[in-house]
Amino acid sequence: MSNVGVVGIQWGDEGKGKIIDILSEYADVIVRFQGGANAGHTIVVGGKKVILHLIPSGILHEKKYCIIGNGVVLDPGILEQEINDLKSIGYIKDDKRLMISGLTHIIMPYHKKLDMLRESKKKNKIGTTGRGIGPAYEDKVSRMGIRVIDLLDKKMFSDMVKENLEIKNFIIKKYYKDQPFKAREIIKSYEVYRKLLKKYTTDTTQFIHKCQQEGKKMLFEGAQGTYLDVDHGTYPFVTSSNTVSGNIFSGSGAPPTSVGYILGICKAYTTRVGEGPFPTELSDETGERIRKIGGEYGATTNRPRRCGWFDAVIVRRALKLNGVKGLCMMKLDVLDEFDKIRVCTKYKLGNRFLTDPPMATTSYPKCEPVYEDIDGWNSPTRGITSYGDLPLNARKYLKRLEEIVGVNIDIISTGPERESTIVLKNPFE
């Protein structure tokens, strides 16, 4: 039971990439189980910034196996680019280190087009990343999806593309009044991906079971965050997959008994990219300051992230939903220069106080955050590696957060570099 799952506790962009990179050192296998190239995991290694959308960040560690699980929706063009970029800086020397499930669904050009056309026509926009995620998951559920294993079969792939295009082109032409796709062109352009994917396609479920039997340590890498979960998030302003820890198992084939520790990643404040409710959002100078100091711009779309204070209401629910054993508090250093730091402990909705988020997404905008003010520390924490070296008020802030959310903080991040981390408890030990 030494396996660990890592999930985002807020609206994504919590900094999972950095932590997965650090924890990969203690794991033998790193498994991505959901989402697609909508995610962007930024890691700084040796002063070099690497952004990974699909390949688990563990790839930066030699000898570790990285798996793209069946729960992912895979854009083969982005995968190719990522492999080439990694190879150009000396990573993935051994192709056997990267494995892709044959059951993983593939993003097709019409998914991306439909994603963008839908967004442009929608009155209540979701603010998607335009990477075709929603349409690809829709095809999966409607049993129209094309999987890696289908692409590897030339005839099957060609038949499936033609069948899909009958419907997709009808919608694109008739409803969106846009240019249809030519089956021939798609089939031809995906030939190169067939060759590429053939190299990496594996029965990853079997591999995971074997690893478990042999006592290998596995790290399950989540993408996005709990409030973007298609069931538990602020629907419809969510992504199209389950981002919570429960999906580790269906998205990878690992049994539910295989994970003993879920690490929840959250920022010392809150951010959100795209549309949707955000009770503690700061649309003022303070929000702008957090964005600027925290460099809060999307790793995938470069959109400015909306910023606000730490929201304990959403965090508390997320910790329970995911079965979080320990928290990792990211970007503490971003708050170094604030005299007062606010934490939302509950919402006021009419004359009621809520300690859990409301069920209806439409109720969020009516919720007024109730804040507790905490004294800032006004001194640099950037790069601090030992808890004892943190200023007293920073320690007080962390202690108070632990009390409010009811879970221990096991890891604290004080900067983007691997080294700028305080590990109080290693989830693998």
Residues in contact with ligand IMP by CB under 6 A are 12-13, 38-40, 126-129, 131, 133-134, 223-224, 228, 237, 239-240, 273-274
Q: List strand residue ranges (DSSP E) for 103-192, in order.
A: 105-106
What minimum distance in Å lies between the beta carbon of 230 and ligand IMP? 10
What minimum distance in Å lies between the beta carbon of 42 and ligand IMP? 11
What minimum distance in Å lies between the beta carbon of 245 and ligand IMP? 17
β-strand partners of 51: 42
CA distance 132 to 222: 19
Residue 293, number of CB atoms within 10 A of its CB:
16
How far, CA to CA in Å, does 231 sit from each of 124, 278, 412? 19, 17, 29
Q: Tokens standing for 207? A: 């591999």
Cis amide linkage into residue 365, ω under 30° from 0:
no
Residue 263, number of CB atoms within 10 A of its CB:
28
- Bridge pairing between strands 105-106 and 218-221: unpaired
Q: Which is nearer to ligand IMP, 197 or 273 (CB)?
A: 273
311 in catalytic set? no
Phi, psi of 90 (to 5 degrees): 95, 10
- Bridge pairing between strands 352-354 and 340-349: antiparallel
What minimum distance in Å lies between the beta carbon of 311 and ligand IMP? 16
Per-residue DSSP letter, 75: -
Q: Which is nearer to ligand IMP, 101 or 239 (CB)?
A: 239
41 in catalytic set? yes
Residues 6+ apart with CB under 8 A from 170: none
What minimum distance in Å lies between the beta carbon of 36 and ligand IMP? 8
Catalytic residue among 21, 41, 53, 111: 41
Catalytic residue among 13, 21, 115, 311: 13
What minimum distance in Å lies between the beta carbon of 393 and ligand IMP? 30
Q: Which is nearer to ligand IMP, 130 or 376 (CB)?
A: 130
Residue 235, number of CB atoms within 10 A of its CB:
14
Q: Which is nearer to ligand IMP, 262 or 299 (CB)?
A: 299
Q: Which is nearer to ligand IMP, 193 or 237 (CB)?
A: 237
Query: Residue 33's closest CA among 7, 62, 63?
Result: 7
Q: Which is nearer to ligand IMP, 204 or 224 (CB)?
A: 224
Residue tagged 């969106």 (tokens)? 176
Return the residue nearest ligand IMP (CB atom).
Answer: 274
Give the CA radius of gyration of the chain.
22
SS3 413: strand
Residue 359, number of CB atoms within 10 A of its CB:
7
Residue tagged 């795209």 (tokens)? 274
Q: Which is nearer to ligand IMP, 40 or 56 (CB)?
A: 40
What minimum distance in Å lies between the beta carbon of 129 and ligand IMP? 3
Question: CA 351, 354, 360, 361 torsion: positive or negative?
Answer: positive
Which of the residues are catalytic?
Answer: 13, 41
